[in-house]
């Protein structure tokens, strides 16, 4: 009975051991399979992750390049804007200069027109005055032996004869003109007499040309008799 008990115990031990080994082998195989599967999964994930990282790096590079392009474009745009503003300022300055020049030209035209009108008016007045002088002098031509002729510089030359009884053909003369102020200007008397300047001043004040001619005739006559 003891031997039968030992044999039964030994048999139970063997069965347990065999069963245990079988169980351990199956578990080990499962673990190895799981480990290999895990390694393959990790490897595939790592490869995908590497690809993803490379794609993201390219995207980051593309983003940075795009950002740099935007910065360069913004810089160029700013430079162009500054150039445009500078050109606009230059155009405004030139327009102001042109407006100022146009205004100056207009002022010069108006000033020239005023001066031309003034000169024209003065010339007309001068011509009218000379005509009046000529008309006044004509009244004395027969009586005083007076002859009037126009000479250079818009001057009238007054020629007297019949002053010297011994030499009635002898000439006594003076020249008359109007200055810029339209005043009488007496010059070139022959023979010269001292009161010519006084006669000139009197005719300027009185505008009595007939009296002036009479005084000149008397002055020439006094020279002959003296």
The more confidently predicted of residues 208 and 17 is 208
Q: Quote the Cα angle for 161-167-172, to 5°.
A: 35
pLDDT on residue 216: 92
Q: If you search the block for the tokens 């205004």, which residue do you land on?
A: 103
pLDDT digits (tens, 9 = 90+) for 32-84: 666 777 677 777 777 887 888 888 888 888 888 888 888 888 888 888 888 88
Question: In this structure, are residues 204 and 195 in contact, taking their beta carbons and an 8 Å threshold?
Answer: no
Let me know: does 179 contact 154? Beta carbons within 8 Å. no
Q: What is the pLDDT of residue 219?
A: 92
At the topology level, CATH places domain 134-225 in Copper Amine Oxidase; Chain A, domain 1 (3.30.457)
- What average pLDDT does range 123-131 have in this prediction? 72
Higher pLDDT, 101 or 32: 101
Question: What pLDDT band is residue 136 in, cutting at 50, 70 and 90?
Answer: low
- Taking only Cα atoms into account, the Rg of the chain, rounded to an integer number of angstroms, comes to 66
For range 10-27, the mean pLDDT: 73
pLDDT the model gives residue 203: 93
Give the pLDDT of residue 54. 85
Structure tokens at 219: 């002055």
**In the Cβ-directed half-sphere of 48, how many Cα atoms lie within 13 Å?**
6
Q: Is the pLDDT of residue 28 over 70?
A: no
User: Residue 95: what pLDDT?
Assistant: 84
Determine the pLDDT at residue 206.
93
- For the cut 60, the answer to whether the pLDDT of residue 202 exceeds it is yes
Mean pLDDT across the chain, nearest whole number? 82
Among candidate residues 207, 210, 164, 162, the one with its CA nearest the CA of residue 184: 207
Q: Where are the domains of the chain?
A: 134-225
More confident call, 219 vs 42? 219
Q: What pLDDT score was predicted for residue 173?
A: 93
């Amino acid at each position: 009975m003891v031997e039968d008990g030992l044999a039964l115990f030994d048999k139970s031990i063997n069965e347990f051991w065999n069963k245990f080994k079988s169980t351990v082998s199956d578990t080990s195989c499962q673990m190895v399979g799981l480990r290999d599967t895990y390694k393959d999964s990790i490897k595939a994930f790592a490869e995908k992750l590497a690809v993803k990282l490379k794609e993201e790096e390219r995207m980051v590079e593309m983003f940075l390049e795009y950002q740099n392009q935007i910065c360069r474009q913004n810089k160029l745009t700013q430079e162009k804007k500054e150039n445009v503003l500078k050109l606009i300022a230059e155009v405004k300055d030139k327009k102001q200069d042109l407006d100022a020049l146009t205004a100056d030209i207009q002022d010069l035209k108006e000033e020239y027109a005023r001066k031309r009108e003034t000169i024209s008016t003065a010339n007309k007045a001068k011509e009218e005055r000379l005509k009046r002088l000529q008309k006044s002098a004509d009244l004395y031509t027969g009586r005083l032996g007076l002859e009037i002729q126009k000479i250079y510089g818009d001057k009238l030359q007054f020629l007297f004869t019949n002053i010297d009884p011994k030499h009635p053909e002898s000439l006594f003369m003076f020249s008359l003109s109007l200055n810029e102020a339209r005043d009488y200007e007496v010059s070139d008397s022959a023979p010269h007499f001292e009161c010519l300047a006084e006669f000139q001043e009197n005719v300027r004040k009185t505008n009595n040309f007939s009296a002036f001619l009479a005084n000149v005739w008397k002055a020439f006559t006094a020279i002959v008799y003296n």
